[in-house]
Amino acid sequence: MSIDAIATIEREAERFASALAATDPAQQVPTCPDWTAADLLWHLVEVHEFWAAVLSTGATAEEEVEAIESGLRSRPEGTDALLERREAATASLLAQLEARSDEDPAWFWFSERQDVGVTRRMQTHEATIHRVDAELTAGRPVTPLGSEIAAAGLEHVLHVMWPSAFDWIPEWAEARPVAVVEIRPEGGPTRLLGISRWSGTRPRDGQEFDEPVGRLLTDPAEAEGLPRATVSGPALALDLWAWGRARALDHLAGVEARVGIHGDSEAISQLEGLIAEGHD
């Protein structure tokens, strides 16, 4: 069975809005500590409005996307206004997704994926994960993710979210492999995740960087000699963990799910650094 992205985005966005409608707008978001409940609500408005515009204009180039960004409307005041904008933004996004096939070209921020399909998948998981954020912020039990959504969400992190960071490594930096991690979802294929760190000194201001990035390894020889760790658990647990929402596992409604992490302490430390980068 394939995931119905339209139904999922609509359902999760409604749950998201319901959780935040009665929440103090100044309440801190536990999984995104720099945000308040109002910031979280505005974030989904911005996301849905932006991608609806990308699809409606047929944007495929950076210059077109910059024009879209500069033309977006400003943030309204008050929860009621934000909720109204959210409803309209989600409706616009869903209308654009319904009108297009996955193979249609469309701009995306990961160079390897430039079509409507990756936007459809991204928005499915973004709505789901931010619904988890909203329920945690509201102090509600977290509605468990379906097994199919969870498995697909983990795959999206492994194939898109983590490897896309390699696109942003500047020319003056260099990357070095530091660890390898086996990702073992229950009932699913084992994946070999290579973790590297890119480092360097930015020429224009002398600022030094040392950041983690991850990508799946296709050649086991690339893992030789590196510190190694294993991460295992049900897809639900691994999905939330990979998106940086492991704390939601303590608040799931009627479900118990845990992530097991074992192995070399250096590999585990590098993995923790990668997870700490997070996904907003």
Give the pLDDT confidence score for residue 111 in this predicted structure: 87
What string of H, E and C letters represents the secondary structure of the chain?
CCCCHHHHHHHHHHHHHHHHHCCCCCCEECCEEEEEHHHHHHHHHHHHHHHHHHHHHCCCCHHHHHHHHHHCCCCCCCHHHHHHHHHHHHHHHHHHHHCCCCCCECCCCCCCCCEHHHHHHHHHHHHHHHHHHHHHHHCCCECCCCHHHHHHHHHHHHHHHCHHHHHHCCCCCEEEEEEEEEEEECCCCCEEEEEEEEEEECCCCCCEEEEEEEEECCCHHHHCCCCEEEEEECHHHHHHHHCCCHHHHHHECCCCCCCEEEECHHHHHHHHHHHHHCCC
Give the pLDDT confidence score for residue 150 in this predicted structure: 96
Fold of 5-140: Four Helix Bundle (Hemerythrin (Met), subunit A) (1.20.120)
Answer whether 0.85 is exceeded by the pTM.
Answer: yes
Give the pLDDT confidence score for residue 41 in this predicted structure: 98
Give the pLDDT confidence score for residue 123 in this predicted structure: 98
Give the pLDDT confidence score for residue 278 in this predicted structure: 76
Residue ranges per domain, the chain? 5-140, 163-277
Q: What is the pLDDT along the chain (280 residues), one digit of tens a residue?
A: 589 999 999 999 999 999 999 999 999 999 999 999 999 999 999 999 999 999 999 999 999 999 999 999 999 999 999 999 999 999 999 999 999 999 999 999 998 889 999 999 999 999 999 999 999 999 999 999 999 999 999 999 999 999 999 999 999 999 999 999 999 999 999 999 999 999 999 999 999 999 999 999 988 888 899 999 999 999 999 999 999 999 999 999 999 999 999 999 999 999 999 999 877 7
Give the pLDDT confidence score for residue 252 in this predicted structure: 96
